[in-house]
Amino acid sequence: MSPLKTIDSKIVHPMDNLLRMERIPHIWCPSCGIGLAVTAFTAALEKAKIDLNKVAIVSGIGCTGRVAGYTKLDSFHTTHGRPIAFGTGIKIGNPEIKVVVFSGDGDLIAIGGNHFIHAARRNIDMLVVCVNNFIYAMTGGQVAPTTPLAAYATTSPYGCVEPPFNIPYLADSSGAVYVARWTTLHIRRLTNSITEALNKRGFSVVEVISPCGMYYSRINKLGDGLDMMKFYHDNAEIRHGEDTKNLGIGFQTKIIVGKFVDRERPTYMDSYNKWLSEIKTEEKLRK
């Protein structure tokens, strides 16, 4: 019998140059969807053909908050709820940088909700990837602003009594120029959406519905990660251009995915610079 072939340790994974391999293994649980969202993101970075030295990724706190720490870009792991505000500072401090905020639903929509709507209103040139797993997972499964009505969480032990936020509707009505939603099952479409959004100027939001096998599925008895993927397969419906009003998600109801908003609006820096060039001319006139 011939000896086993030695494995060439220099084999490089195509995503290695985009990840901090020295930090792997990551902290995410088996069946978690965040890894898939990161896969889609890194694939999109390559497809979008943008200068990776000019991309800053900003995360907040939570499971998705750890994404910045695994991607090999200028990565910032900030305080809870503040990645959009932090990213606004980076963008204005150096407008050449493409800012990507990669964080969870609790971080962006609850504690950071105010920054989310105001950055959308200002149309800060920024891509927000919001991983929505319907729960606060890092802290052990508490109710989130996205937890569907009647779903269980450790702090809604008798079922969630608060209606959840419809993230695409919130983004759309606040002024985002690009809004899409996919589940972690739609990995190719998600990659395409992120690629498109990376090249879009203005406040773009991509919501990623992701399974949380450890908390959300367990406490609601929905099976493991694979069962959640099957659920997405059977219940996700692609409806591009759907009115964002109709995108609310109930407990185990149909999830409408697709690209809903793609429009043009002057960004914050566009307006600022236009206004600035006008006052500068005025200054000259006065002289």
Partner 1 sequence: MKANPKDVNTGVYYIDGDVSSGYGALAAGCKFVGGYPITPSTEAFEAVCRRGPLVGAMFIQMEDELGSIASVVGASWAGVKSMTITSGPGFSLMMETIGFGAMLETPFVLLNIQRGGPSTGVPTKTGQADMMQSRWGSHGDYELIAISPDSPQEMFDYTIKAFNLAERYRCPVMIMSDECVGHMTEKVVIPPADEIEVEPRRFYDGPINEYLPFKPDEDLVPPMVKAGDGYKLYITGLIHDERGYSIKNEEYKFIYTKRLVDKIRLNKDKIIELKEEETDDAEVVVVSYGISSRVAVRGIEKAREKGIKVGSLRLVTVWPFPDEKIAELAKTIKAFVVPEINYGQIAFEVERCSHGEANVILVPHGGAGVHNPDDICDAIEYAAKEKKRIEGVIEYKTKLEKLVFEEGYKLHE
- Interface with partner 1 by CB under 8 A: which residues? 20, 22-23, 53-54, 56, 58, 68-69, 72-82, 84-94, 96-97, 114-115, 118, 272, 276, 279-280, 283
Nearer to partner 1, 94 or 253 (CB): 94
Enter the tokens of residue 86. 């932090």
For partner 1, the closer of residues 16 and 243 by Cβ is: 16
What are the φ/ψ torsions at residue 282 (nearest 5 degrees)? -60, -45
Give the residue with the Cβ less far from partner 1, 69 or 266. Answer: 69
Nearer to partner 1, 8 or 283 (CB): 283
Dist. CA 6–CA 3, nearest whole Å = 9
Minimal distance, residue 23 CB to partner 1, in Å: 7
- Give yes or no for a cis peptide into 25 (omega within 30° of 0): yes
Spatial separation of the C-alpha atoms in residues 22 and 181, rounded to whole Å? 31
Could you give phi then psi for residue 153, rounded to 5 degrees?
-150, 165
Question: Residue 56 Cβ, how far from partner 1 at the closest point, in Å?
Answer: 5
Residue placing its CB nearer to partner 1 in the complex, 113 or 223: 113
User: Nearest 5 degrees, angle CA 138-CA 44-CA 120?
Assistant: 65
In angstroms, what is the minimal distance from the CB of 84 to partner 1?
A: 8
Question: Smallest distance, Å, CB 266 to partner 1?
Answer: 16
Bridge partners, residue 209, by sequence: 132, 183
DSSP, collapsed to helix, strand or coil, labels residue 135 as strand
Q: How far is the CB of 73 from partner 1 (least distance, A)?
A: 6
CB 111 to partner 1: min, Å: 9
- If we measure between CA atoms, which residue out of 48, 42, 43 comes closest to residue 200? 48
88 vs 183 by CB, closer to partner 1: 88
Rounded to an integer, what distance in angstroms lies between the CA atom of residue 200 and that of residue 267? 11
